[in-house]
């Protein structure tokens, strides 16, 4: 065997084991009995011990040095393995194992705290998670990851090439237009809200039809319930979850469509890349571009809204809206709310900015975990103009910090920016797209996204894949222009 074939054989098994570990995480949040939490923590810690040993195997450096890439894809794969080796090699095995154990336990404690609205129940574990992630970030920064900055090193794990400074600059460019538009919209008469009770069985049936409309492959996926919706897996097994609130069918429906975007990305990657470093989404920003464009530019479009209205009426009866135009306005209603995942397109990024600034301060040591609820509530009041009522609507609403996903939140907004660019290019290439969406067929759009983005996996860098798809470098301008056009028309501004 050549050095290259030995390297890729080793990587194939590592990728497969990583998917097994991910499946354990999926089970923990969907099927696992509550009493198994400590056992699962040990199982995940043991898996991380095995994975960390493989990812830091001394032979990797030797193989990388000797490997001769047969083509550009192989060259990219070698570069990704080398970068991962730098990251993983900087982190002691004991730290990696303890992070896996702690975050597994923390997820269950967070869920209990959220259900009880008891921040104090979660804070000791959050303090431990933040300390471990800070230690991990500092270890990687010392090895040159993230330019030597601990928070940038953590960001690198989700969005290679991004930094806190670049993301802060993006937010600074976005905030003035978003705030001004929000003030104008909230000062105008609001569309009627949907009212009533919508049984869980009907919501899940509708969610399945919507997933099928977006081409979700049920032979390689499934839909389950979770406290916080997520997708999990890859290659030929990528699963989605949703949640049900009987007074809010849009919550279940659009959580499902969002996760279909993530899952479809994984399932669309060229089979030649399976079980290689190219065989999964290139970054969480690009991943979020797929989930957000499915959910918003497609799923909340006027054309798709017309089809969705007929489906909801068939499932639930009369909805109390006058016609398809009124339903479209209701579907895109801008309103005050606490929850990021339920936020309208206009205000969503403001929720992300809050989290980005707080976690940056946590990792930088400028904010103590003991003060996180007070800091969250003060910032929320300042940004949104009303006070958080209960912790489940505030600092306890997101699962991310419990599972150690610090450095992740900004990728939601980066995904929105990428989605704005992709939507502009897609609409240019598919002038008749709305005709298909009006019949509940999103396949022309999803086929375009597959051809332009999804099938490449990690073959290109995040900026490269968006630039290749759109013909120009990513910018926040298309997203802001789209939001201005959409909401000024909806609110007659």
* Residues that are catalytic: 259
Q: Could you tell me if 445 and 426 are in contact, meaning their C-beta atoms sit under 8 angstroms apart?
A: yes
Q: Could you tell me if 17 and 51 are in contact, meaning their C-beta atoms sit under 8 angstroms apart?
A: yes
Q: Could you tell me if 211 and 260 are in contact, meaning their C-beta atoms sit under 8 angstroms apart?
A: yes
User: Residue 237 phi/psi, 5° resolution?
Assistant: -150, 95
Alpha-carbon torsion (115, 116, 117, 118), positive or negative: negative
> Residue 308 and residue 202: Cα distance in Å, rounded?
13
SS3 track for 393-456? HCCCCCCCCCCCCCCCCHHHHHHHHHHHHHHHHHHHHCCCHHHHHCCCCCHHHHHHHHHHCHHH
Name the token pair of 399: 């699962």
Of residues 341, 357, 348, the one with CA closest to residue 480: 348
Q: Could you tell me if 48 and 100 are in contact, meaning their C-beta atoms sit under 8 angstroms apart?
A: yes
Please list the alpha-helical segments (H only) found in 56-92: 58-66, 72-89
> Residue 133 and residue 363: Cα distance in Å, rounded?
8
User: How far apart, in Å, do the first and last CA atoms of the chain sit?
Assistant: 67
Name the token pair of 61: 């450096």
Q: Beta strand pairing status for 231-234 and 237-242?
A: antiparallel
Dihedral angle over CA of 372, 354, 401, 117, nearest 10: 60
> Residue 9 and residue 28: Cα distance in Å, rounded?
30
Q: Beta strand pairing status for 223-225 and 231-234?
A: unpaired
Name the token pair of 469: 């798809």
3-state secondary structure of 284: helix
Give Cα 182 distance to the centre of its chain.
Answer: 24
């Amino acid at each position: 065997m050549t050095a290259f074939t030995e390297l890729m054989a080793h990587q194939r098994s590592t990728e497969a084991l990583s998917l097994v570990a991910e499946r354990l995480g999926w089970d923990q949040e969907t099927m696992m009995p509550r009493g198994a939490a400590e056992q699962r923590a040990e199982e995940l810690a043991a898996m991380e011990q095995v994975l960390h040993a493989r990812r830091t195997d001394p032979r990797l450096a030797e193989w990388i040095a000797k490997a001769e890439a047969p083509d550009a894809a192989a060259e990219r794969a070698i570069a990704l393995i080398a970068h991962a080796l730098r990251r993983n090699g900087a982190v002691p095995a004991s730290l990696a194992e303890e992070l896996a154990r702690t975050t597994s336990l923390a997820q269950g404690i967070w869920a209990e705290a959220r259900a009880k609205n008891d921040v104090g129940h979660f804070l000791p574990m959050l303090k431990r998670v933040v300390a471990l992630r800070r230690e991990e970030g500092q270890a990687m920064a010392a090895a040159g990851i993230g330019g030597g900055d601990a928070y940038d090193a953590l960001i690198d794990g989700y969005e290679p090439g991004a930094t806190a400074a670049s993301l802060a600059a993006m937010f600074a460019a976005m905030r003035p237009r978003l705030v001004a538009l929000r003030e104008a919209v909230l000062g105008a008469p609001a569309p009627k809200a949907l009212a009533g009770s919508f049984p869980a069985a009907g919501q899940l049936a509708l969610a399945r039809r919507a997933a099928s409309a977006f081409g979700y492959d049920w032979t390689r996926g499934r839909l389950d319930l979770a406290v916080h919706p997520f997708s999990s897996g890859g290659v030929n097994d990528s699963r989605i979850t949703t949640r049900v609130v009987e007074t809010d069918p849009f919550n279940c429906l659009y959580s499902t469509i969002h996760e279909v975007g993530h899952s479809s990305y994984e399932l669309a990657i060229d089979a030649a890349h399976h079980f290689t470093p190219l065989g999964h989404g290139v970054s969480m920003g690009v991943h979020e571009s797929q989930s957000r464009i499915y959910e918003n530019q497609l799923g909340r479009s006027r054309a798709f809204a017309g089809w969705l209205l007929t489906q909801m009426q068939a499932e639930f009866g009369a909805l109390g809206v006058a016609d398809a135009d009124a339903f479209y306005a209701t579907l895109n209603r801008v309103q005050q709310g606490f929850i990021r995942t339920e936020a309208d397109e206009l205000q969503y990024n403001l929720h992300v900015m809050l989290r980005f600034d707080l976690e940056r301060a946590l990792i930088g040591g400028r904010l103590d975990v003991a003060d996180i609820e007070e800091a969250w509530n003060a910032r929320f009041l300042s940004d949104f103009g009303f006070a958080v009522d209960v912790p489940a609507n505030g600092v306890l609403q997101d699962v991310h910090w419990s599972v150690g996903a610090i450095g992740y939140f900004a990728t939601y907004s980066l995904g929105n920016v990428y989605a704005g660019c992709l939507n502009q290019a897609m609409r240019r290439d598919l002038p008749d797209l709305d005709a298909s969406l009006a019949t509940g067929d999103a396949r022309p759009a999803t086929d375009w996204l597959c051809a332009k983005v999804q099938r490449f996996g990690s073959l290109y860098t995040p900026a490269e894949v968006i630039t290749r798809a759109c013909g120009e470098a990513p910018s926040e301008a298309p997203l802001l222009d789209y939001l201005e056009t959409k909401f000024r028309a909806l609110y007659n501004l």
